[in-house]
Every structure is written in structure tokens, then in C-alpha cells.
Amino acid sequence: MAGVYHAFGRLAAVQGVDLEVAPGEVVCLLGPSGCGKTTLLRIAAGLEVLQRGSVSLTGGATAVPHGRHLPPEKRNVGLAFQDSALFPHLSVLENVTFGLKGEPVPQRRKRALGLLEQLGMAAYAEAYPHMLSGGQQQRVALARALAPAPQLMLLDEPFSSLDARLRDRIRDDTLHVLKKVGAGTLLVTHDPEEAMFMADRIALMREGRIVQMGTPRELYCHPCDPFVVTFFGEVNELNGEVRDGCVQTPVGPVGAGWLAEGTRAQVMVRPEALRITERDEPPEGHRYSHVIMAKLLGRSSLLHICAHGADGREAHLHARVPGVFLPAEGQPVDIHLDPSQVFVFPSRATVAGA
């Protein structure tokens, strides 16, 4: 799709989106509630009439220019939405074979059973939807969408009604099937971890626009702005001015040579970026970094640290340390930074005033 705009009355829900999904590629639309993900998916599906821009499937073979509407059933797309209802009077197998017109019955059954098998639902082929849990119904809806071998799968929060343990397995199975079938997939989620797991590329959206598009690694390791950093988890925010190519912070100098001297900078430090080591003795003088509180979260420990910089400034920070690491309250510590988890941006006031 290119240059897609969409408004509901005076509300501009999608504001100029360009997006491509290659065959076999999984692209996740990620972003906070109300940023326009579902609207974009519904436009691709033909459930919303295109207002501005263009949508095409397979290199323009089924182009949908502005002013013309191609209904969902005429597009070669498979839809599985959060609330995709199964036909209650049809069995699981009949639900999946429903869209397979023009093929001999044994072939339809074979294909449907194959997909149900891959999604762990073959044993329920003769069951009816009311006999299934929400998660099982979602898997059947997915098999039904995949059965006609669409060019593009459109999935809206397909794992949202599953509990955490089941979700991991079904995500795994779904990704496996999508890759095997080789359809391009556009998947909507608001969960960054889900997007990182499922996506070849993520389009992170805010207020109707794509803020950054790239592989999970590109977005996580090279975020283009503070919104992208914060979307992937909690961060410690420190501020300072660029002097001699660095910003001085209470946890040491952070390189910022690409910013002009004197620029006010926002330093974003992931809790994982802080390496904490205990000191036997407090350092000389009476101001030193120390632990305020330590909590075990399971696979990691969360430390609340009061950091004192060489410049006398103080900051309260969260550090996340793998495993069980629970120093006592008041324990003096040294803090080291992993620079790959620290990001520097000109502070908003600087950008606004520029």
C-alpha cells in the first residue's frame, strides 16, 4: 500500500502509510491502542473503503485504486480477526473446508486436516465450535483463513484471548505454518515481544503514522527516537549537555559525538544496561552509589539504585540483573554501562527550538 490516508469523520486514523509485504514475509503492525493498526488491516482486507492512496496485491495484479472498491472475497486474502466467529452449525473440519470451492472433496478434506494437524487441532475435526475453548477456536479460525492458500494473511491480535503458556506454543505453531505455507502476513499486535517473535519486519506506529520500520533487531538496537525506545520496555531517563563529545551523567560519560557541543541531550538507559557490582567499602568522601531496594522477579532481579556521579549529581535508576542478585539496602555499588543499551537523542526542547 502507498500513501494511504483514512479518516473517520474528523479523526485522521491513518495518515500517509507506505507498506509492502513480500511473499513469505511476516510484517507486524505494532503500536499503542488507537494508533490505526486495525484500520490499516481492514483497509488491506477491503473491509474499509479506500479513501486516499493505493493498495495492490502481488505486484499490482489486483490493484485497488482510490475510488474503486474490491470486496474482501474478491481479494486473495485470508482473514483471522480477534473476534473471528466460526460457523456454529458446522463442524471444525467443515469450517475449515468452507472456503475451498472448486476442489474435489477428498482434496479439500486432506488440506484442511493437514492444517488442523499442524495447528494441533486434528483430534477436534468432528467437534463443533461450542465444544472448543477460545484458544482452540482461534486456531480453527486460523486454519480456515489459511485453507484457500491466500497470497496475504491478515491477522488482528490472533493470540489475544490465550493464556500466557498456551500463547507461546500457539505462536510457535502459527509461525511455523505461516512460513511453511509461504503466504505474506500482516499481523496486528500491541505486544512488542509478540512482534519481535513473529515478525521479519516490524512497522511501529503512532498516531496513524509509521514511526520506524525494520527488523526486530533494527528497532530494538537502533531505535530512531525516544518513543521507539520506550515502546520496548521501561527505561531510565537522564539529561545533560554535550561537552567534549560526551554527556556527563550520574552513571558516567555517554558518547554523543554526533551532536553539536552544548546540545541538551536526553540519555535513555535500559535497566539491562546497568552492570552493578558490590563494593566492600564506600569510596572516599560520603556520597556514593548505593542500593535502595532489591526485588527478585524470577529469572532476573530488579534493583533500585541511587547513583552519584563524579559531577555530584544524583539519580534514581532501575537496574535489571539476570538471576538472583539481592544486595542489602544501603550496599555501596559500582555501576558500569553497556553502551549498546544506551541511547542518546537531542532533548525535545532542543528539537522544538531548533
Q: Does 31 bind ligand ATP (CB under 6 A)?
A: yes
For the chain, report the end-to-end CA distance as a whole number of angstroms: 33
Residue 188 vs 251, nearer CB to ligand ATP: 188
Q: Which residues in 156-195 contact ligand ATP (CB under 6 A)?
A: 190
Residue from 4, 28, 38, 183 in contact with ligand ATP (CB under 6 A): 38
Per-residue contact track with ligand ATP, 190 to 229, x per CB under 6 A?
A: x---------------------------------------
Our measurement of the distance from residue 232's CA atom to the centroid of its chain's CA atoms, rounded to an integer in Å, reads 8
Segment contacting ligand ATP by CB under 6 A, of 31-39, 71-79, 134-142, 231-239 = 31-39
Residue from 16, 24, 25, 34 in contact with ligand ATP (CB under 6 A): 34
Q: In what order do the strands lie in the sheet with 314-322?
A: 290-296, 300-308, 314-322
SS3 breakdown of the chain: % helix, strand, coil, rounded to 5? Answer: 30, 35, 40
Task: Report the relative pairing of strands 184-189 and 26-30 from DSSP bridges.
Answer: parallel
Q: Does 36 bind ligand ATP (CB under 6 A)?
A: yes
Of 72, 34, 67, residue with least CA distance to 51? 67
Residue 39 vs 249, nearer CB to ligand ATP: 39
52: enclosing H helix or E strand: strand 52-57
218 contacts 46 by C-beta, under 8 angstroms: no
Residue 227 vs 288, nearer CB to ligand ATP: 227
Q: How many residues bind ligand ATP (CB under 6 A)?
A: 12
Residue 195 vs 267, nearer CB to ligand ATP: 195
Residue from 13, 55, 80, 307 in contact with ligand ATP (CB under 6 A): 13
| Identity of residue 195 | A
Our measurement of the distance from residue 70's CA atom to the centroid of its chain's CA atoms, rounded to an integer in Å, reads 29
Question: What does the binding site for ligand ATP look like in residue numbers (CB under 6 A)?
Answer: 8, 11, 13, 31, 33-39, 190
